[in-house]
Structure 1
């Protein structure tokens, strides 16, 4: 059995999340485990944990996203979470925003190989696209603390929508430290949610920041 293959427990969760696109998602994981490692997008130690810690951990967040939403993923890296969203939810319109050229090149190659049509890649810092990108939902994972994240994500919502930031145990502390910035950026409500409770042993912690009437 390959090191990055699905376990029995993970397969059940993956079927629940990806459905008929599971085989396509397995191809994505193959990319992560090979060229993704070779080109430095992930560390070799992550290979056995690609499904549980990364792909499924990210993809379950789509249960919090409305049907047909436009989504921007800031600091996409290896496509986590944005590319997993495109796989799990063909109805979503996904924009990956990533500043590093080598990561953008890899993402583009993977998207073409998988034949995904509901996703695009923009190379640059998110600040470059504040005028160009206008979405319903903005996401980020392992980019920065919420106090800094608010400044580089919330403007993409243009006054209405929500940030879904994938976080860990420090979520409550980050919210407290970011309150001043969040108010300045027009946040109406900030709460901590969990995603994937019905399919994952360890659900994903998400900080949701709502802006405007969304």
Structure 2
């Protein structure tokens, strides 16, 4: 199990509050069955909280109250399950095509008793028109130029895309500029989430989408 350092414990309390016990159980799943089934690499255990869970959960500060969120390529629930635990007011649809990952997600959701999560086994493009959301998220799925055509159609013409990125965010935006415009993106910006909580805040590309 990935134990919290003193600094991480403070951050965890700020991010999850009274739902920290659920977050801890989620990390336990990641550190055990998540590794056994190949969703997380064993070397990631010491940094599950800092590099993965915190990195994803702080994105919640960018999402409006009560929003419906679709998470593309959920995998180990990053960021989908992190958001669902941190923000019970949100409704999360986790979109994941691989059966073994879907099975794991279903087991974790059931164990944590999360009633604000739906899991859809499908590729993102197959889920268009079947999922209702105002926000669509993704982490470590692919470059923005590839992500945009998968994510924006899920919004049905209006909403926003939140993609967790790293140092290449500005470069990815430049390369994807034409694609973003083609799919209805009207405003693109790089945001930082968790700046008041984490030593290494999360970089997020936000693309706002509106009907023309």
TM bin (shorter chain)? over 0.9
2:26 is aligned with 1:28: yes
Q: How does 1:134-145 map to 2 (within 5 A)?
A: 134-145=132-143
Give per-residue Cα distances to partners, 1:119-156, cap 9 Å, x unaligned: 01100101111011121000000001000100000001
State the TM-score, normalizing by the size of structure 2.
0.98
Inter-partner Cα distance in structure 2 for 1:107 and 1:79: 7
- Measured on the aligned residues, the alpha-carbon RMSD in Å equals 0.7
- Determine the C-alpha separation between the residues in 2 that align with 1:133 and 1:123: 12
Q: Report the equivalent of 1:13.
A: 11
Equivalent positions of 1:168-183 (< 5 A) are: 168-183=166-181
1:77 maps to which residue? 75
**1:78-157 paired onto structure 2 within 5 Å:** 78-157=76-155
Q: What is the CA-CA distance between 1:192 and the residue it aligns to?
A: 0.1
**How far apart are the structure 2 equivalents of 1:23 and 1:115?**
12
Question: What is the alpha-carbon distance in structure 2 between the residues aligned to residue 44 and residue 129 of structure 1?
Answer: 31
Structure 1 Cα separation of the partners of residues 132 and 27 of structure 2: 29
How far is the alpha carbon of 1:40 from its aligned partner? 0.2
Which contiguous aligned blocks of 4+ residues in structure 1 show a shift greater than 2 angstroms?
Answer: none
Matching residue of 2:187: 189
For 1:211 and 1:180, the matched residues in 2 are separated by 14
Structure 1 residue 69 displacement after superposition: 0.1
2:38 is the counterpart of 1:40:
yes
Q: What is the number of equivalent residue pairs in this alignment? A: 211
Gaps of 5+ in 2: none
- Output the CA distance in 1 between the equivalents of 2:166 and 2:112: 30
- Mapped to 2, the partners of 1:31 and 1:7 lie a distance apart of 19
Deviations 1:71-128 (A, max 9, x none): 0000000000000000000000000000100000000000000000000110010111
